[in-house]
A = this chain, B = another copy of it.
Amino acid sequence: MEALLPKFDSVFSIDCVIFGFDKGELKVLLIERNEEPFKDCLALPGYLVEQNESIDFAANRILYELTGLKDIFMEQFYTFGEVNRHPQGRVITVAYYAILRLNATKELKPVTNYAKKAFWHPVANLPELAFDHSQIFAKALQKIKRKITYQPIAFELLPEKFTLSQLQMLYELILNKKLDKRNFRKKMLNFGILKELDEKQKGVSYRAAKLYKFDRRKYGKLFQKELTF
């Protein structure tokens, strides 16, 4: 006979930080809450984990229920466990993130009434969020800043063919600083991870720029080579 575990007055939750890159703007997916506490406030999509579901499963279910988004590959990145982070009791939350290329066809529509609505909000002027969600968001942003320096996440965010200006804008958005154009181009081309195409931008009123593609194989190699031998 095994002893019973002590009962704690504790629950787990999931919060999702979904970044979207949309026509030169970095956005994050928010909901407007329909429940106390923080009714009517803005928050990350998040809710409680049920007894009989794994946390990975819960993350996908909760994101779907609160926003209508499905089949998003999310990665767990940090668990927040301060004692008083939730006004109703002890709630430890496991935070997940994903970073997507937005397109207009993905309609956001909560399927529960826990959220009044879901929408993309520009990262640049984010308001204060419910609970400790501003802190969770900040940690996720830090995470993708680090990640963009050693993993090819830019792949997921740019169209297959892109200009060097679009690539630079992506880095500037995520790193949140202006980069020197000449320097950026020189470094990027030096890495040898870009394939110059025999095509130019179409449908632009200004001087059309050359298009590039990532060389996936070389990109992957670059990010492994340093000290892994």
Contact = CB atoms under 8 A, between A and B. Distances in A.
A11 interface: yes
Nearest to A53: B83
A191 B227 CA distance: 9
Contact of A179 (B6, B52, B229): B229
A51 B150 contact: no
Contact of A183 (B56, B90, B229): B229
Given A79-B76, A79-B94, A51 B9 contact: yes
Contacts of A7: 9
Interface range for A: 35 or more
A5 interface: yes
A154 to B, nearest CB: 9
**Which among A149, A150, A229 has the highest number of chain B CB atoms within 10 Å?**
A229
A37 B179 CA distance: 56
How many copies of this chain does one complex carry? 2
A51 B8 contact: yes
Contacts of A205: none
Contacts of A49: 8, 10, 81, 92
A6 B149 contact: no
Given A37-B2, A51-B90, A81 B12 contact: yes
Nearest to A49: B81
Interface in A146-196: 148-150, 171, 175, 179-180, 183-184, 187, 191
Contacts of A79: 55, 76, 79, 94
A78 B175 CA distance: 25
Given A78-B76, A79-B79, A224-B149, A8 B5 contact: no
15 contacts: A2-B36, A3-B88, A4-B89, A5-B48, A8-B49, A8-B51, A10-B10, A49-B92, A53-B83, A79-B79, A92-B92, A175-B228, A175-B229, A183-B229, A187-B227
